[in-house]
Chain A
Amino acid sequence: MAVQKFITGNFYDEAVLFPAVKKVRRGGYKIHEVFTPFPIHGLDKAMGLRDTSLHTAGFIYAITGTATAVGFITWALTVDWQINFGGKPFFALPAWIPITFELTVLFAAVGMVLTFCYLCQLAPFVRKDHFNLRSTDDTFVLVLECTDKTNDAEAMSFLQSIGGQDVQVQYKETGWWLGRYDKDTKRFERKAEAAH
């Protein structure tokens, strides 16, 4: 676990966000992440993220599934326990294609979901810090990573100048830990107090 310093800015419009992302990259700042409530087409390209290799993983899972199905059925029906089905040869490949197909899809699907969860560090009870809860609702949150050389005031005014609102410095935990969101009531208690 390591707490790091970040500068965050809110954006309310894609038309402001996209040029801002470009300007931030050109200005030499490092984008930690842009949090959005929904996927935005082209944002990954604008941020300069590389293509995910999730589909390569999917392909590997799929051929693993194919090999498992063909291998196991072949062993079971030609070596271990030969059964005569309507005079067909023991190695009756066409009849195995549906099962092979299904295992291929199953391996690829389950494998990719688990890999996705691993890459995004998603699991039950895995707890992570949020920069701004509204990034799950109605705002885009652009997060800049700070090093010890970063001039806070300069970076904040820069983020403001390109359209960022509510710009602030935040110290956040970058890793994950075990916990539960619904038990962590502090944030909501504070809100409830404010409402009274």
Chain B
Amino acid sequence: MTIRENYVVPKRFNMIAFTLMVIGLLTIVGLYATHGSKEDPIAQARFWGSLLQNSVYFLLVVNAAMFFICATTLAWGGWQMSFRRVTEAISACVPVVGTICGVILLLICFGGNHEIFHWTDTEHVKHDKILSFKAGFLNKGFFAFMTVATIVLWSLLGWKMRKLSRSIDETPLNVEESKKYIWKNTVWAAVYIIVFSLTVMSSIPWLWLMSIDAHWYSTMYSWYTFASTFVAGVALITLFVVFLKNNNYLELTNEEHLHDLGKFMFAFSVFWTYLWFSQFMLIWYANIPEETTYFKPRAQGIYSGIFWLMFIINFLAPLLILMRRGAKRNYTTVTFMALLIIFGHWLDFFQMVFPGHQKDKVPMMLWDFGVALGFVGLIMFLTGRALSKSPLLAKNHPFIKESVIHHT
């Protein structure tokens, strides 16, 4: 079998990516003109909220690709090796998307608008018992530090993992070297996972998203955010794998690997629902006013349509459609479900961000969708560029055989 190692980005692919980016930019300009430039702080918050939702969502989604690599590396998994370069390419978006996201977050934090993060209003915090109690965690300095440190660490450790993977492309390893190589990979993956667990799985969603509803808190929030972005991240990996398969690349990846990706999407959709529902049920059951404020606008108020739509497309659809073995091995079904899941969890982020400050009416989602298209274009462009830079197959990796003979 001849293996096409070098991916050439089709012109049409880049054209679509740039078109999407232009649409995104135009939407941002339009949104700024209609909302962001207004005097009304709530209208301004609607502009910044859209940027916050999309940049954080897509950053966490592309970062989930690196989590996927490190988790499978730590587990000494071999099955993903035949398309590992695809996950690496997606994770190569982290520095750029991260910079954009960091700039947006810092602008929101240090800009004069206190509608989104009202804990940034120092005058207000003085008279607010709850917020002044939380001031040790929710303050501008710590927020800025955590934001910058997190994005830099993700970028650096991701770069290290990608560099390790590329370092053996030219030099086949013998058994002893292979053992050392695997061990080195394991150590760096472990470092990444520790950073990941201290950021995505705990502090970062608290700072970036939960602090929009600064009075409210939920210890399950970060896990739930992680589940949301991880399932969307796996869906994104699947989309790129299917795309490359359609273009006659990735000869060694077949429906067995697709089946496993489908299982991941299925399992983590259920996992997401488990966390989403657990968070809801405990608050619903205890029925304490300071906790139920979060769900009042979302489950019963003006945002309830999105809430229940999410239940259908993030839980019922993956559960019922991806349950069958045949569905997970079918390229069309899996592609459709991947798109649906990415959209569904984007909706999830929409209802995390907006009810906190757009209390009177649900903002028109088309604007946010336009911004999302811009980020999709950016991710397409960056991933395509990263794919074309290194061979599509990590052919000297000691576990590659395991992936070739993979069977589910």
A51 to B325 CA separation, bound complex (whole angstroms): 10
Q: Which residue of A is nearest B320, CB measured?
A: A59
Q: Which residue of B is nearest A42, CB measured?
A: B407
Interface residue? A183 (CB, 8 A): no
Contact between A94 and B325 (Cβ–Cβ < 8 Å)? no
Contact between A95 and B281 (Cβ–Cβ < 8 Å)? yes
Q: Which of A51, A59, A94 has the most CB of B within 10 A?
A: A94
- A90 to B: closest C-beta gap in Å: 15
- B287 to A: closest C-beta gap in Å: 7
Contact between A55 and B325 (Cβ–Cβ < 8 Å)? yes
Interface residue? B137 (CB, 8 A): no
Q: Which residue of A is nearest B287, CB measured?
A: A86
A87 to B284 CA separation, bound complex (whole angstroms): 12
Chain B residues closer than 8 Å to A98, beta-carbon distance: 281
Chain B residues closer than 8 Å to A59, beta-carbon distance: 323
Chain A interface size range = 10 to 19
Contact between B407 and A94 (Cβ–Cβ < 8 Å)? no
Using known A-B contacts A41-B407, A42-B407, determine if residue A94 contacts B287 with beta carbons closer than 8 Å: no
Contact between A97 and B407 (Cβ–Cβ < 8 Å)? no
Q: Which residue of A is nearest B274, CB measured?
A: A101
Chain B residues closer than 8 Å to A94, beta-carbon distance: 277, 280-281, 284-285
A41 to B259 CA separation, bound complex (whole angstroms): 15
Q: Which of A42, A86, A97 contacts B277 (CB 8 A)?
A: A97
Q: How many residues of B contact A (CB 8 A)?
A: 9
A174 to B203 CA separation, bound complex (whole angstroms): 64
In the complex, number of A-B residue pairs with CB atoms less than 8 Å apart: 19
Contact between B325 and A97 (Cβ–Cβ < 8 Å)? no
**Which residues of chain B in 320-349 are interfacial with respect to chain A, using CB atoms and an 8 Å cutoff?**
323, 325
- B323 to A: closest C-beta gap in Å: 7
* Binary CB contact string for chain A from 44 to 80 against chain B (1 if under 8 A, 0 otherwise): 0000000100010001000000000000000000000
- A156 to B: closest C-beta gap in Å: 32
- A187 to B: closest C-beta gap in Å: 36
Contact between B407 and A95 (Cβ–Cβ < 8 Å)? no
Chain A residues closer than 8 Å to B284, beta-carbon distance: 94
Q: Which residue of A is nearest B285, CB measured?
A: A95
- B289 to A: closest C-beta gap in Å: 13
- A145 to B: closest C-beta gap in Å: 28
Chain A residues closer than 8 Å to B277, beta-carbon distance: 94, 97
A94 to B281 CA separation, bound complex (whole angstroms): 6
Q: Which residue of A is nearest B280, CB measured?
A: A94
* Binary CB contact string for chain B from 259 to 303 against chain A (1 if under 8 A, 0 otherwise): 000000000000000000100110011010000000000000000
A51 to B408 CA separation, bound complex (whole angstroms): 13
Chain A residues closer than 8 Å to B285, beta-carbon distance: 86, 94-95
Q: Which residue of B is nearest A85, CB measured?
A: B285
A86 to B286 CA separation, bound complex (whole angstroms): 9
- B399 to A: closest C-beta gap in Å: 17
Q: Which residue of B is nearest A59, CB measured?
A: B323
- B319 to A: closest C-beta gap in Å: 11
Chain A residues closer than 8 Å to B407, beta-carbon distance: 41-42
A139 to B100 CA separation, bound complex (whole angstroms): 61
Chain B residues closer than 8 Å to A97, beta-carbon distance: 277, 281
- A70 to B: closest C-beta gap in Å: 15
* Binary CB contact string for chain A from 81 to 111 against chain B (1 if under 8 A, 0 otherwise): 0000011100000110110000000000000
A87 to B407 CA separation, bound complex (whole angstroms): 53
> A-contacting residues of B (Cβ < 8 Å)?
277, 280-281, 284-285, 287, 323, 325, 407
> B-contacting residues of A (Cβ < 8 Å)?
41-42, 51, 55, 59, 86-88, 94-95, 97-98
Beyond known contacts A87-B287, A97-B277: 12 more, CB 8 A cutoff: A41-B407, A42-B407, A55-B325, A86-B285, A86-B287, A94-B277, A94-B280, A94-B281, A94-B285, A95-B281, A97-B281, A98-B281
- Show 13 A/B contacts (Cβ-Cβ < 8 Å), sorted by A: A42-B407, A59-B323, A86-B287, A87-B287, A88-B287, A94-B277, A94-B281, A94-B284, A94-B285, A95-B285, A97-B277, A97-B281, A98-B281
